[in-house]
Amino acid sequence: MSTQSDSREITLGQAINEALHEEMASDSAVIVMGEDVGRHGGVFRLTEGLYDEFGSARVLDCPICEAGIVGLGVGASMTDMRPIVEIMFGDFTALVMDQVVNQAAKVHYMSGGNMTAPIVIRTTMGAGRNIAAQHSQSLHAWFCHIPGLKVVLPATPYDAKGLLKTAIRDDSPVIFFEDKMMYTEKGMVPNEEYTIPFGVADVKRVGDDITVIATSSMVSVALKAAETLATEGISTEVIDPRTLSPLDEATLVDSAKKTSRCIVIDEGYSHFGATAELASLVSSKAFYYLDAPVERIGAMDVPVPFSPILEDQTIPNEETVVNAARRLVGS
């Protein structure tokens, strides 16, 4: 990581915006397309300034047709462009599944390697904004299920910027999930150019008694829980895989072997979710080292309700993690 002097504090939203600016400036094949991304600067302000700097040809305001836009992006990517498509809400990815799952993910394999689709789809995830079930889901597990796609879930401004730059330069299709509640979260980001390779987990906190594997919005939840657990004498290691596909299996398994206890936490639905795959991985590959079954914590299997008193119950929180950790260490 960088020292104070050569880095500065910015929000996760700014980090994404910087990555877009830098990659567009360095490669004229990089273009942004989507709904409200140009003149308006994006519904979440993530593409702000791009239109003024790069113009309407490179920051393409499209009619409202998610499937068509992604198809346009796939075709452009097959003909030497590097499109970044913004899908406003992750929930809307339901509209683009054919192009993503049956076209983009399969172009390289099915063409015998003679075509590629280097497209990035940026979209959002996460509940907590009181916007109900069609704008609050975390659907990244859908895409992790498909060979040929890479799936990225940044949890800090540093990771968001470095991973997005890697995504844009990658020759395979990448689905980039941004937690909409984290856009204003701040963190240190180097002034210097950098990228973060895919498939390399980041140990966010070192510990000895228990491993918490956390993704996206759940990383900060896990870190807060680790603080509380530390006051009880429980030393928690928090690991963020950062990319679920490809997955850094070794770092996750080695940590579980070291601590002998593991919690997996992710904001997707629990049933058949990312936590199931991660728990299965740790359970099978660290089996002889574990003192207890792996605990899975995901979002409740319920359409995310609007009323805050209902919605808040569906999202895992610090207390959920602390209670699970206490159970695992038998305290």
Partner 1 sequence: MKLTRAVDDRTEDLYKQGKIPGVIFSQRGHEAIAVGASYALEPEDVLAPMHRDLGAYLLRGMTPGTIFAQAMARIGGPSRGRDTNTHGLGDLSLGIIGYISHLPQSMPVTLGAAFSFKYRGEARVALTFTGDGASSEGAFSESLNLAAVLNLPAVFILENNRYAYSTPTHHQYATRNLVQRAEAFGMPGYTVDGNNVLDVWQVTAEAVDRARSGGGPSLIEAHTMRMRGHAIHDPANYVPKQLLEEWETLDPIKITTDTLRNQGVLDHTTEADIALKVKTEVDAGLKWADSSPLPNPDTLTAGIYA
Q: Which is nearer to partner 1, 140 or 180 (CB)?
A: 140
CB of 24 to partner 1, least distance (A): 13
Phi-psi region of 131 (alpha: psi -120 to 50; beta: other; left: phi over 0): alpha
**139-to-176, 207, 224, 321 alpha-carbon distances in Å:** 11, 30, 24, 21
Q: Which is nearer to partner 1, 190 or 246 (CB)?
A: 246
Q: Which is nearer to partner 1, 8 or 39 (CB)?
A: 39
Q: Which is nearer to partner 1, 5 or 79 (CB)?
A: 79
Residue type, 284: S
The gap between the terminal CA atoms of the chain, to the nearest Å, is 35
CB of 37 to partner 1, least distance (A): 14
Alpha helices in the chain (DSSP H): 12-26, 50-54, 66-78, 97, 107-110, 140-144, 157-169, 217-231, 249-259, 274-285, 308-314, 318-329
Q: Which is nearer to partner 1, 59 or 210 (CB)?
A: 59
Sheet of 262-269, strand order:
202-205, 236-240, 210-214, 262-269, 295-299
CB-count burial class (<10 Å; 0-12, 13-18, 19+) for 307: exposed
Q: Which is nearer to partner 1, 76 or 279 (CB)?
A: 76
What is the DSSP code (8-state) at residue 95? G
Give the chain's length. Answer: 331
CB 316 within 8 A of CB 298: yes
Quick check: is 135 catalytic?
yes
CB of 12 to partner 1, least distance (A): 27
Catalytic residue among 23, 35, 66, 237: 66
CB of 20 to partner 1, least distance (A): 17
What is the DSSP code (8-state) at residue 176? E
Dihedrals φ, ψ of 19, to 5°? -60, -40
Contact residues: partner 1, CB under 8 A: 31, 57-58, 60, 62-63, 65, 67-81, 83, 98-99, 102-103, 108-118, 147-148, 150, 170-172
CB of 146 to partner 1, least distance (A): 10
Phi-psi region of 199 (alpha: psi -120 to 50; beta: other; left: phi over 0): left
CB of 48 to partner 1, least distance (A): 22
* Paired sense of beta strands 243-245 and 30-34, if any: unpaired
Quick check: is 193 catalytic?
no
Residue type, 52: D
Catalytic residue among 35, 108, 135, 311: 135
Omega cis (within 30) before 83: no
Q: Among all residues, which ones are annotated catalytic?
A: 66, 135
